[in-house]
């Protein structure tokens, strides 16, 4: 199981207009965000997850049984949807008024539901629980253009950065001190290109929106109505990547890279650093034992001190007839004890305060798997979700094209980013 960087949300553009009709009479901008979720915890509720039942059926059935034992007047029905078509399923359920009471979502999936008034503002209805969660996770469900918090944070993930110690040493770089800031990264990349006559690049991919965020670029205005990644710091980032590209410190195929392609480049020793996750370790061990023996693990490079957080949450249907039970169940699934037990079932990380200090996430036993877990947990303590919920696949493609033009010298970095912001803002207004 993996938390994708950008879940498929093909239905998102049409979702808001469709759901606005379904939410007619509930108001706008979050519907009835202060809806009273107090009262007796009773009734039948439906809990919907996303591609979890096949691997974790016994685990979740046990959790549900525990909740029902604590609340004997509540009956929980669990349904699990496949990953493929999940956004379309949410759209159809929202339009027909059949959304489950508690729904597994990501920020981009809950955003149109919140705008349509179908997601409960848990910041108002259950704000007493905010202190139980990491600040970055709670804020991850604050959405552009919609005041409130629209899901309980659930499990998290992020990636450490992997590097090839042997390639670092061959380039005269200290393998014990991998770069932590972008200045250090760019300096090391240029050194590696020079020392290897351009045969080994430091990186395999061009910058994505997350990289702009980690560099310290403001991505949107406070109102969430316009993108701002074309500000001076964003232009500076692209210009510095162009210097890498010209010096062969960035892989020649970086402009058409994908996570799978960049991973392959790292596996084959064509590049020296690559972002990844704990899931990659087994690939390294099986497919590239030489790399595995020389594998370095470090936190993501940032100027901000905050890595990118990928997060899942549990939304409560604002029109549920059993809000008290739905809120209590969503909180139960996401409380510290249950998140910790889930994290020991699969490689994910809890969003609850203090959980990442548990020895499971902090005690090094010398194995690579534990080192990855420790690096990821340390990073997640103050990680943030840089990618705005309104950032669509179309917008992602627009930025990719703009960066490619700038790196190839077809446009200046400023002109390319100005055009990209203009096009993304146009897409934002259409959505």
- Does residue 348 lie within any of the structural domains? yes
Q: Which residues constitute the domain of residue 167?
A: 161-305+388-430
In this structure, are 258 and 396 located in the same domain? yes
- Does residue 7 lie within any of the structural domains? no
Q: What is the pLDDT of residue 76?
A: 98
In this structure, are 337 and 372 located in the same domain? yes
In this structure, are 317 and 219 located in the same domain? no
Q: Which helix (H) or strand (E) holds 312?
A: strand 310-316
pLDDT tens per residue, range 100-122:
999 999 999 999 999 999 999 99
In this structure, are 23 and 98 located in the same domain? yes
Neighbours of 77 (CB within 10 A): 12
Angle value at C-alpha 9, between 351 and 310, nearest 5 degrees: 20
Alpha helices in 344-383 (DSSP H): 359-362, 368-380
In this structure, are 112 and 245 located in the same domain? no
In this structure, are 178 and 269 located in the same domain? yes
Say if strands 43-50 and 74-81 run parallel, antiparallel, or are unpaired. Answer: parallel
Q: What's the token pair of residue 406?
A: 């700038």
From 6-10, 146-150, 292-296, the region with the lowest mean pLDDT = 6-10
Mean pLDDT along residues 139-163? 94
Q: Which of 142, 145, 137, 103 minimizes the C-alpha distance to 121?
A: 142
Of 340, 363, 380, the domain-final residue? 380
Mean pLDDT along residues 202-213? 96
Q: What's the token pair of residue 228?
A: 């701002």
Domain count, the chain: 2
Inform me whether the pLDDT recorded for 46 exceeds 50.
yes
Q: How far is CA 263 from the centre of its chain?
A: 18
- Does residue 145 lie within any of the structural domains? yes
- Does residue 1 lie within any of the structural domains? no
Q: What is the pLDDT of residue 22?
A: 36
In this structure, are 276 and 313 located in the same domain? no
- Does residue 2 lie within any of the structural domains? no
In this structure, are 258 and 114 located in the same domain? no
pLDDT tens per residue, range 276-325:
887 788 889 999 999 999 999 998 999 999 999 999 999 999 999 999 99
In this structure, are 71 and 45 located in the same domain? yes
Calpha distance 185→178 (Å, rounded) = 8
What string of DSSP letters covers 79-139? Answer: EEE-STTHHHHHHHHHHHT---SEEEE-HHHHHHHHHTT-B--HHHHSGGGGGGB-HHHHH
Q: What is the pLDDT of residue 279?
A: 79
- Does residue 100 lie within any of the structural domains? yes
From 165-174, 251-260, 275-284, 302-311, the region with the lowest mean pLDDT = 275-284
- Does residue 5 lie within any of the structural domains? no
pLDDT tens per residue, range 319-356:
999 999 999 999 999 999 999 999 999 989 999 999 99
Question: What pTM does this model have?
Answer: 0.87
Mean pLDDT along residues 179-190? 98
In this structure, are 274 and 357 located in the same domain? no
In this structure, are 131 and 264 located in the same domain? no
In this structure, are 277 and 328 located in the same domain? no
Q: How high is the mean pLDDT of the chain? A: 90
Half-sphere CA count of 325, side-chain side, radius 13 A = 25
Mean pLDDT along residues 259-284? 90
Query: Which has more confidence, 399 or 223?
Result: 399
CB contact at 8 A, 291 and 269: yes
SS3 301: coil
Residues 375, 156, 5, 386: what is their CA dihedral angle, to the nearest 10 degrees? Answer: -80
What is the CATH number for 169?
3.40.190.10
Rg (alpha carbons) of the chain, rounded to whole number: 22
Inform me whether the pLDDT recorded for 257 exceeds 90.
no
Q: What is the pLDDT of residue 35?
A: 60
Q: What is the pLDDT of residue 1?
A: 42
- Does residue 138 lie within any of the structural domains? yes
pLDDT over 90 for what percent of the chain? 83
């Amino acid at each position: 199981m993996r938390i994708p960087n950008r879940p498929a949300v093909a239905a998102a553009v049409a979702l808001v207009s469709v759901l606005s009709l379904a939410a007619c009479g509930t108001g706008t901008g979050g519907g009835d965000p202060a809806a009273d979720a107090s009262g007796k915890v009773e009734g039948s509720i439906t809990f919907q997850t996303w591609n979890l039942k096949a691997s974790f059926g016994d685990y979740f059935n046990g959790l549900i049984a525990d909740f029902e034992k604590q609340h004997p007047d509540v009956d929980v029905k669990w349904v699990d949807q496949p990953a493929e078509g999940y956004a379309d399923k949410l759209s159809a359920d929202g339009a027909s008024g059949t959304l489950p009471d508690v729904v597994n979502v990501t920020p981009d999936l809950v955003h149109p539901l919140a705008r349509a008034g179908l997601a409960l503002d848990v910041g108002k209805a259950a704000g007493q629980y905010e202190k139980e969660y990491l600040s970055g996770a709670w804020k991850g469900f604050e959405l552009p253009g919609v005041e409130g918090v629209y899901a309980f944070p659930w499990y998290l993930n992020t990636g450490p950065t992997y590097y090839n110690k042997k390639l670092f040493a061959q380039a005269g770089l200290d393998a014990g001190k991998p770069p932590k800031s972008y200045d250090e990264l760019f300096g090391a990349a240029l050194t590696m290109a020079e020392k290897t006559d351009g045969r080994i690049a430091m990186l395999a991919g061009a910058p994505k929106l997350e990289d702009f965020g980690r560099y310290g670029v403001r991505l949107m205005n406070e109102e969430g109505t316009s993108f701002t990644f074309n500000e001076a710091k964003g232009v500076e980032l692209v210009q510095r990547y162009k210097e890498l590209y010209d010096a062969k410190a960035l892989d020649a195929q970086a402009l058409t890279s994908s996570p799978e392609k960049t991973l392959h480049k790292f596996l084959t020793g064509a590049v020296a650093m690559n972002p990844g996750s704990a899931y990659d370790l087994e690939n390294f061990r099986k497919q590239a034992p030489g790399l595995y023996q020389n594998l370095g693990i470090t936190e993501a490079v940032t100027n901000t001190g905050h890595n990118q957080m990928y997060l899942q949450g549990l939304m409560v249907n604002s029109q549920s007839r059993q809000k008290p039970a739905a809120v209590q169940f969503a909180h139960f699934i996401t409380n510290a004890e249950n998140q910790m037990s889930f994290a020991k079932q699969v490689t994910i990380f809890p969003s609850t305060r203090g959980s990442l200090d548990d020895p499971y996430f902090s005690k090094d036993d010398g194995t690579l798997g534990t080192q990855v877990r420790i690096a990821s947990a340390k990073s997640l303590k103050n990680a943030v979700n840089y990618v705005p919920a309104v950032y669509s696949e179309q917008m992602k493609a627009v930025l990719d094209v703009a960066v490619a033009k700038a790196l190839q010298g077809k446009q200046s970095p400023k002109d390319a980013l100005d055009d990209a912001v203009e096009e993304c803002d146009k897409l934002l207004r259409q959505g």
